[in-house]
Amino acid sequence: MAQVSHPRRTRILPACPIAPSEKTRRQEQRDALAAKCRTVFERLRPQLIEIYYNWHIAIDPDTEQYLIDPTLKGITQKIRDVYGNTNEVKLTIFRLNDTGTCGRLWV
């Protein structure tokens, strides 16, 4: 039998290195946004948790407007419809439950 050599797989697009200072700056922006959104979330949660328990909520901290949907896919679609496709982070998604987390926490 003849041996067939397989071409080595490579990246389709070249790597896009981000400077560590840029990564730090972006993380600080996300953390600041999350803190502002958390404040609004804590104020809204008691009103909404009884009706929309375990639904997803996306909060804009500047206007304090929010979007609600029972599924993560639905909330992301609503965000795209309202805010468009952009790389700028404007909202934080929470879940209307006791902790506000959207996924499983591993401790």
Distance CA 49, CA 6 (A): 55
List, for residues 94-104, the tens digit of each pLDDT value. 988 877 676 55
Reduced to 3 states (helix: H, G, I; strand: E, B; else coil), residue 74 is helix
Domain locations along the chain = 21-95
Distance CA 100, CA 44 (A): 11
* pTM of the predicted structure, to 2 decimals: 0.72
List, for residues 1-49, the tens digit of each pLDDT value. 666 667 677 767 777 788 889 989 989 998 999 899 999 999 999 999 8
